[in-house]
Amino acid sequence: MAQRKEIGDFSLKMSTFVNVASASAGVLRQVTWEGPVTGFGTLFVTVTFSGSGKAGTFTDCSTAFLDNGDFLHGIGQGNYESKGTHSWHAKGFTQLSDGRRVEHEGNINLAERSWSGKVFELS
């Protein structure tokens, strides 16, 4: 089993929200988030949520613009579940273009359009 080591935190704001019709999955919610991530500079990530307001899955595709001017891409997936009115807890992992895998876990506040949490490196 992979070990995880906390390497930072993230604080993202929702910048777009688009509903997409899917013949197999009903309505998907495609959300773009942006904000700082410790050790990764500024992150821009598009997340596609599938499921209900109570629970579901997501996929993500991201680009992090690092403080040194380089960038990384990431592709990942995860799960979310309701933790009350307009609140989801989300947990997932992302494969980075430099070969690392990271896990992220945090809370989405739909009313405030924010997503914050912790990032862990998997080994």
- Compute the average pLDDT of residues 2-27: 92
Domain boundaries along the sequence of the chain: 4-122
* pLDDT (0 to 100) of residue 25: 81
3-class DSSP assignment, residue 2: coil
One DSSP character per residue, 40-69 reads: TEEEEEEEEEEE-SSEEEEEEEEEEE-TTS
Inter-residue contact 90 to 106 (CB < 8 Å): yes
d(CA 34, CA 95): 18
d(CA 80, CA 109): 12
pTM for the full model? 0.92
d(CA 101, CA 103): 7
- Compute the average pLDDT of residues 44-72: 96
